[in-house]
Amino acid sequence: MTERNYDGLTRAQAYELSQDVGVNPSTEPTIGDVINQRFGRREMLKGALGAAAITAVAAPLALAAGEAEAAGAPRAGFRFAEPEHGVDQTHHVAPGYTVDVVLRWGDPLFADAPEFDPTRQSAAAQRRQFGYNCDYVGYAPLPEWGSRNADRGLLCINHEYTSEEVMFAGVGRQGERAGFGKMTKDLVDIEMAAHGCSVVEIQRGRDGKYTYVRNSRYNRRLTTGDTVMAISGPAAGHPRMRTTADPTGTRVIGTVNNCAGGMTPWGTYLTAEENFHGYSSNRVPEGHPEFRNQRRYGVGERWYNWADYYDRWDATKEPMESNRFGWIVEIDPYDPTSMPVKRTALGRKKNEGAESIVNRDGRVVVYMGDDERFEYVYKFVSRNRINRTDRRANRSLLDDGTLFVAKYNDDGTGVWMPLVFGTGPLTAANGFNSQADVMIEARRAADLLGATPMDRPEDVEPNATTGRVYVALTNNDRRRPDQLNGPNSRPANEWGQVLEMINTNDDHAATTFRWEILIRCGNPTIAAVGAMYNPATSANGWMACPDNMAIDGQGRLWVGTDQGGSWSRASGRADGVYAVETHGTGRGTSKLFFRTPIGAEICGMHFLPGDRAMTIAVQHPGVDGTGDFRPFARESTFEDPATRWPDFQPNMPPRPSVVMVRKTDGGVIGS
């Protein structure tokens, strides 16, 4: 496979361009094929604004207008005025709302942590400070698990990756061709300390504003270079998990590329390891037992030069090390001394999210997407039932169960297919000698089962109010016309869509389901785009590239976007948070609620109990597409960034941050 060169690209752009590095040999119809066989080209080409009502509004899953009043339906309607779409150096929110910056990159979390000084960074300091590029945000209420307290609790936050060009003075962009010439071991160690996760206590003051609690006994940093984690489940101890540093295959140092995640019903925090392939240098030669595995995941992309200083990141020196990443990691936020656990029963892939729901029979179901073009949607169903009175009794619940992958049929039905060793093609004849092999190579197992290749499945959110499941399919502009088996209006899908699924009999453990497209994203005024919304969607309300999602306490859907450097092609609108109607006559209506500063994406939407506060993680401000930002019109660097959000101080670079949005009058958000 030809190696790619990312010189001249931001880290976020490199991530975007590398979304097809895993080689998927599947010949199954893609989700685009299936959608178009079902809906047809003519219907999909309709624009939504100023056009006739379209399929999404009156789709089979929502034919009855009275469904909005049905039992279990979310409250209808979002009552807020939209901000104007656009892009500038700061954030914007709907009128009547307040945005508080709660945590910024470098904020000291402990009494002995130094104040943040971007010109005097060190790994020792970063291990005690808030990490970089915050992504998923979860909330664990205090004083105890199971409470509904929104005044005091713990934020559980992922730190996905680092952007050297705006993070370090005098470094600029680094790439393979340049040999990472300005990167040093000290800077690499800072990067590794800035990755990982943070657990931070927050509290609400009498004025309604949230602040973080420095030196709380719950505060914790988990990093790539220092935090020891256990490996559990079917792959634990397997020879393919053993390395020089860990001959047992049961302990691993650190976690990388922590993207989305989820909170379990027993109060633990699931963090999803996504693009682990970019941290390794090199790849084993053809003929090596791990060659096919490494090639399938794209291992050896070398986004970082960590292998120059640490052999574990050289896939030829430690060929099993990459097998120890790409998992869902469970963390207990209430116990800062506890060891995180990589739960291998949930499968190894480029995980985007791990949202769970308790099925009506008491089993726990975790939904996940594999975020790469032409990859798959998964769910895990636990064998055993949740213990609702003793949270510690659930500590091994995610080690025993069945991982399923989705196949979508063109008649609006689908099946969940189990990834179980010894069934169907998952046998020694195809290179699987145990369940460990199936989990380590979950992608290849899904290939052989005939799963449906998707348009970058990112967040997968079950709705506890309605029982429906939503899938954000961000985009897939790599699908060629010659890959299509039938009519297809978007062979190069730049703007993505949101999929809605209903499991048979509202049973999340069921092996069959129905599906519909809720919205098809992009500019609805351009017919060739094939966008699909409710006609009530305004010129400010349409979106591009859905990514993260959240369900509020009333069962309403919120969607965050990640256009990368393509925002200028989407009518010049920054990424944002959108409220999307899912029921009744308003079904398919999208409304803009919050937008980011230039170069940032939306992550970490999460509603605190009572829906009077909402977290949003603003990732990589001042990075994506700044050359198209007319007031700036060049690429950002540490010394010369497109924005200095959120501090706007002359010597402070842009800082990825977690903000809290609240209604100024203290009311329920969106109502």
Predicted pLDDT at 66: 39
Looking at the chain, the whole-number percentage of residues with pLDDT higher than 90 is: 81
pLDDT above 90 for 77: no
Amino acid at 459: D
Residue whose C-alpha is closest to residue 661's, from 589, 625, 611? 611
Q: Is the pLDDT of residue 58 over 50?
A: no
Question: Residue 540 is encoded by which pair of tokens?
Answer: 């400010």
Asked if the model's pLDDT at residue 62 lies above 60, the reply is: no
Question: Among 35-39, 228-232, 250-254, 255-259, which is the least confidently predicted range?
Answer: 35-39
Average pLDDT over residues 590-606: 98
Cα–Cα distance measured from residue 671 to residue 663, given in angstroms and rounded to the nearest whole number: 9
DSSP 76-94: P----PPPPP---SS-EE-
639 pLDDT higher than 90: yes
**pLDDT tier, 14 (very low <50, low <70, confident <90, very high otherwise):** low
Q: Are 91 and 659 in contact (CB under 8 A)?
A: yes
Predicted local confidence at residue 409, as pLDDT: 87
pLDDT, position 9 = 55
The structure tokens listed for 485 are: 């088996």
DSSP class of residue 219 equals -
2 Cβ contact list (under 8 Å, min separation 6) = none
Q: How many helices (H) and strands (E) does the chain have?
A: 9, 31
Say how far residue 592 (Cα) sits from the centre of its chain. Answer: 20
Whether 39 has a pLDDT exceeding 60, the answer reads no
User: SS3 for 65?
Assistant: helix
Q: Considering only residues 71 and 220, tell me which one the structure prediction assigns the higher pLDDT.
A: 220
Residue 104: what pLDDT?
A: 98
pLDDT tens across 499-522, in order? Answer: 999 999 999 999 999 998 999 999
Q: Is the pLDDT of residue 4 over 50?
A: no
pLDDT for the residue numbered 599: 97
* Cis peptide leading into residue 143 (ω within 30°): yes
Burial profile 336-374: b = 16 or more Cβ within 10 angstroms, e = fewer: beeebbbbbbbbbbbbbbbbbbbbeeebbbbbbbbbbbb
How much of the chain, in percent, has pLDDT values that exceed 70? 87
Q: Would the pLDDT of 7 be above 60?
A: no
Decide which of 477 and 649 is more confident.
Answer: 649
What is the chain's mean pLDDT, rounded? 90
Confidence category of residue 480, pLDDT binned at 50, 70, 90: low
Mean local confidence (pLDDT), 53-57: 38
Task: Provide mean pLDDT across the span 349-365.
Answer: 97
Q: How far apart are CA 500 and CA 461, in angstroms?
A: 10
CA distances, 400 to each of 385, 420, 422, 425 (Å)? 11, 12, 17, 22
Mean pLDDT, residues 645-664: 98
pLDDT-derived band at 13, boundaries 50, 70, 90:
low
In our burial notation (b when 16+ CB lie closer than 10 A, e otherwise), range 109-140 reads beeebeebebeebebebbbbbbbbbbbbbbbb
pLDDT of the residue at 24:
74
Give me the sign of the Cα torsion angle 597, 601, 604, 605: positive
pLDDT above 50 (res 362): yes
**Contact call for residues 348 and 357 (beta carbons, < 8 A):** no
- What pLDDT score does 190 carry? 98
pLDDT at residue 45 in the model: 38
Least-confidence region, from 17-21, 89-93, 655-659: 17-21
pLDDT > 80? residue 303: yes
60: preceding bond cis by omega (within 30 degrees): no
The 10s digit of each residue's pLDDT in 188-242 is 999 999 999 999 999 999 999 999 999 999 999 999 999 999 999 999 999 999 9
pLDDT at residue 411 greater than cutoff 90: no
Nearest to 106 by CA among 81, 133, 74: 133
Pick from 317, 330, 370, 319: nearest CA to 231:
330
Residues 318, 244 contacting (CB under 8 angstroms): yes
Instruction: Tell me what pLDDT residue 52 has.
Output: 33
Coil, strand or helix: which one is 274?
coil
Tell me how long the chain is. 671
11 confidence band (pLDDT: 50, 70, 90):
low
77 versus 362: which is more confidently predicted? 362
Q: Is the pLDDT of residue 6 over 70?
A: no
54: pLDDT confidence band, cut at 50, 70 and 90?
very low
Q: Would you place residue 537 in the very low, low, confident or very high pLDDT band (cuts 50, 70, 90)?
A: very high
- Average pLDDT estimate for 604-629: 97
Which pair of tokens denotes residue 59? 């789709």
Tell me which amino acid residue 356 is: S
Strand 512-520 and strand 657-663: the pairing is unpaired
Contact criterion met (CB below 8 Å) for 476 and 32: yes
Residues contacting 287, CB < 8 A, separation 6+: none
Predicted confidence at residue 25, as pLDDT, reads: 72
Mean pLDDT over residues 25-52, rounded?
A: 52
Confidence of residue 31 (pLDDT cuts 50, 70, 90): low
Confidence of residue 444 (pLDDT cuts 50, 70, 90): very high
Residue 165, phi then psi, degrees to nearest 5: -65, -30
